[in-house]
Amino acid sequence: MNALTMTIPLPADLNALPEAKVHWLPCTIHSDQEASVDKYFLPQPVSPSLNDAGETTETAPASGEAPSIALKAESTHFRASFRGRRLEGQVPNMHDFSALLVETSEGVDQDQSEGEVDDSKMELDTTQHATSTLRLTPVARVVEPIVWDHDQLPLVHTSAVLKGLEWAWLSSAVHQPVSQVDDGAESALDG
């Protein structure tokens, strides 16, 4: 019988971890090596502006402006292209959650539980059981991640990342203790 256990050793102070910029792209990249993302992937912040009718529209900055998103931290909407496809991105509302960048390592531990009795067959099972351990080690804190989608801003119903954040927020809201009773509900119970 094989079992899987997962361990996540958290440091005492998560703020001691280095910061990492993360881009959640709507594609699969068959590599887990480091890449010069800042050199080749150049997202442009999109700033709101008014058109002739006085409506707010969003436009990308001129090509002469700095492409660094670090300089335009107040913008939450970005535009880029990857492998010839236009991408629209935004910084999601993390709802007071934190994200960590982790490295994985896997190991197999031999279990010492020899000599188990299988009650259904009444036989002695003398095989050793292996336990796979997946270890997730935090290597960086994710600050202002950008979620990307093809040709449109990512939406909760089209992005698994945004959907996961919404479900995490909803779960924490549902499981939070009720601290106060609404005055209207209290008076309805009294009367």
Report the predicted TM-score, pTM, of the whole model to 2 decimal places.
0.63
What architecture is the 3-114+125-177 domain classified under in CATH?
Beta Barrel (2.40)
Confidence bin at 126 (pLDDT 50/70/90): low
Q: Are 131 and 5 in contact (CB under 8 A)?
A: yes
Structure tokens belonging to residue 178: 């009720």
Longest CA pairwise span in the chain (Å): 84
Per the model's pLDDT, the better-predicted residue between 182 and 84 turns out to be 84
Over residues 59-108, the pLDDT tens digits come to 444 444 443 333 334 558 899 998 889 999 998 888 788 889 999 887 65
With beta carbons less than 8 A apart as the criterion, state whether 144 and 22 touch.
Answer: no
What beta strand segments (E) does 36-180 contain?
44-45, 47-50, 56-59, 77-82, 85-90, 99-110, 116-118, 123-125, 130-142, 146-150
CA dihedral 180, 183, 186, 191 (to 10 degrees): 170
pLDDT at 113: 46
pLDDT band at 138 (very low <50, low <70, confident <90, very high): very high
Per-residue tokens: 191? 């009367």
Per-residue pLDDT at 80: 94
